[in-house]
Copies of this chain bind each other. A is one copy, B any other.
């Protein structure tokens, strides 16, 4: 287990991608690009390093392996701990976003606006 500090956006989106159902590495890359509306394109280096790290932290686990067209597909799934963690992080993001929006609305001019 680990000490759980804040998740970066790529890691958050990887967990999100696994929240509905298990996926394999390359599937996560395309899924993350889709759910972020093309804004986040995971690099292979980022993905597989993150997968190893998240697994060693107990947030995800290997689900199964398949071979399709001679290519290996290694599926990962969210663990119970990973689900809790993702829910916590989502709540944090929502709170941060809400605070920012509220403060932007009640803005007071500083010096020169």
Contact = CB atoms under 8 A, between A and B. Distances in A.
Interface in A59-113: 61, 63-64, 75, 77-80, 83, 86-87, 89-101, 103-104, 106-108, 110-111, 113
A26 interface: no
A110 B21 contact: yes
A43 to B, nearest CB: 13
Q: How large is the interface on A (under 10, 10 to 19, 20 to 34, 35 or more residues)?
A: 35 or more
Contact of A78 (B20, B75, B92, B113): B113
A79 to B, nearest CB: 6
Given A87-B101, A93-B94, 9 more contacts: A20-B106, A21-B108, A21-B110, A35-B99, A63-B111, A83-B104, A83-B107, A93-B93, A94-B94
